[in-house]
Structure 1
Amino acid sequence: MSIKPYPLQFKPEMKERVWGGRALERFGLELPPGAIGEGWMIGDHPNGTTKVMNGELAGLGLDEVRAQYGAELFGSRGHRPDGGRFPLLIKLLDCNDDLSIQVHPTDSYAKLPPGELGKTEMWYIVDAKPGATIIYGLKDGVDRAALEAAIAEGRIMDALQEVPVKTGDAFYIPAGTVHALRAGVVVAEIQQNSDTTYRLYDYNRPGLDGKPRELHIEDSLNVMAYEGAGATRTDTSSAVAGEWLEIARSPYFVVEKGVVEQPWPLETRPESFVILVVAAGRGELAWDGGRQPVEAGQCFLLPANLGAYTLSGAMTVLRSELPQ
């Protein structure tokens, strides 16, 4: 059975986190009670599967869309004949407090849970309070022995790079890169479809259950890329209206920033779906057979077979595709 392709919008899965807050409400999102740190906007994972909330496929989970229509909607690179999960996970993060110091494994790490992938990701800073910083990589010359010593002596922060951030900064974080978001930022995250995180340090604070959160020192030390994994930072303020600025490229995704000021005709390709994240402003998304208003905080999955579409209004968008 075929359907006429259209942009899919999903009901987010909200996740309470010890470091979360209520900032995602500013996007008009409905939050449950508690400290909400993550909105899983487009997800197909055992820990969170989002459901379509518009059009003919409304009510179906992304896993069900994949099973029934993946071959026609996800593109030749996005569909796995073996039934594998959708390749990306899209999140909005509200960092009301510091996240743990953490690192993610590559796909080849032998201790990955069954069925799980490694985790390469990227961040786009949607909003940052004055003075906000993140942890981004090891300081020069820190090897495994030096990091182990810093951990044992309670001075791990001395081994890490802390960098200032502002709205519009983009960070590519390959697996193996130590990192941590810190208080005062709201972030759009595009990542491999994985939920594997190894914590090195968590400020000795209790979790939501009142108990210290588990650390994964040995796994973290094993997967760390001490010589660097190719992490890059991009100041995206140079983005020109009507032109895509590439801000992250990996074997798993390519992410570009676009500034919309007047109607911008675009189209999808048969090889890959497109994910659009509206990072700021508002406008309209139009395609053959429909149009709808869009605004900051909304995310859309454009099927590979959608073809022509147009963005208009005054907004900043992130476009994610699978690499060729």
Structure 2
Amino acid sequence: MKAAYEHVDFGQDCSVRVYHRRLRRIPFEWHHHPEYELTLTMNSQGKRYIGDSVTVYSANDLVLVPPNLPHTWASNRSIDEQTPEVAIVIWFDGTWVRRLADLCPEYAGLCDLIRRAACGLAFDEAAGLHMRDRLDRLLCEKPRERLQAVLDILSFLAELPATPLASPSAFDTQTGAATGHEPEQINRVLALIETRFAQPLRLCALAKAAGMSERSLTRHFTQHLGESVGRYITRVRIGHACRMLTDTSVPVSIVAARSGFSNVANFNRQFKIAKAMTPAGFREQFTGARRAEDDLTPGLTERSPSLQRAGKRASLSRGR
């Protein structure tokens, strides 16, 4: 299932777009866009899909999604059935945020936040409540007031811990764990893994590429990335497999082979360790949610114009 492309219209003379979405139920709309997205979801609970991360969410869910990483929320019920489910969505371009952080020391923490968000970040409920308390400013009619509110919230989040979501290399979004601060030798190893993950990768070959001994590579890799070389390679392979399971209908055995696993049994075992479900179960998470949305009447959704057009094109294609 290919993710639909969403065009985000910022309007004239605006640096950020704030979208106040209210509806009876949040639908499954698997999509991506080139902007960063900060979304606060209220009065809703269900499943959140960020790249290959599938997680149950509830009240005051706050997530930062990086550019071009497919994502969606899909609610199963409202917390208060008498009021609408609400999503406050903030879109912004990372380019000007980085420039602002470079020029103004007061915003230096934003660079670290953008770096940490490479795989998506989920914040705790307290952070969601903090943003909720500032909705008046975020939804102000004055663009300058909205911009200042967004900067204040991003600066606040930059100082908070958060949970990374998607796997490295999931969905080809350049979400690998490299941060730009690792030594050049480690970056060479990461680049090699990214391009050859489907092939057998031996520690001795990676150490040679880095110009290190195997022991030094192991020590430096763990120091800078927080996990072993083997564990990182497995996560990259699992991320690629998740993309194939979501975007294609090819058999699991082919997914395993093209993702660097020598046999299906090992692939199934490693996948279940990483995702707490089988590859087939992971695929069903997406296809099942999509089928459920197809059964809904159009009046239950409020899709952006670009997603509406994508849906119409798909309908026309099916009718040919």
Q: TM-score, normalised by structure 1?
A: 0.28
Q: TM-score, normalised by structure 2?
A: 0.29
Question: Where is the strand percentage greater, Structure 1 or Structure 2?
Answer: 1
Find the structure with the greater CA-based Rg. 2
